[in-house]
Amino acid sequence: MPLTITDLMSKMPSAFIPEKAQGLDVVLQFKFTGAEPGDWYAEIKDGKVDVQHATHPNPKMTLTADSEDYIKLFTGQLDPMQAFMAGKLKLTGDLNLAMKMTQFFKMR
């Protein structure tokens, strides 16, 4: 069975590496288009991550991507920098946070 955005987002808390995100109090917003459109956010605070299927009113960074491309990013089939340069991955807000985001989670 193929991986879905719901699967991926629900696995975020177990993939979280709290020691890599010490002292952070941020919200990452995810906007997915394509086959699985929807809004999700991950709030990183006090060494924990809380993931919700919703829109947060004040995210520190927003990532917009086609749902299939994001799954490829997360599973290592698509390079994040190449995706960004090709316009497949759009980022607004704190771009330094976007660069560090891959360190906060164990990627496949």
Q: What is the average per-residue pLDDT within 3-19?
A: 93
Domain boundaries, the chain: 5-93
User: What's the burial of 55, exposed, middle or buried (CB within 10 Å: 0-12/13-18/19+)?
Assistant: middle
Q: What is the average per-residue pLDDT within 23-50?
A: 96
Confidence (pTM): 0.92
For residue 108, the model assigns a pLDDT of 54
In the chain, % of residues over pLDDT 70 = 97
Query: What confidence category does residue 52 fall into, taking pLDDT thresholds of 50, 70 and 90?
Result: very high
pLDDT above 90 for 18 = yes
Fold entry, domain 5-93:
Nonspecific Lipid-transfer Protein; Chain A (3.30.1050)
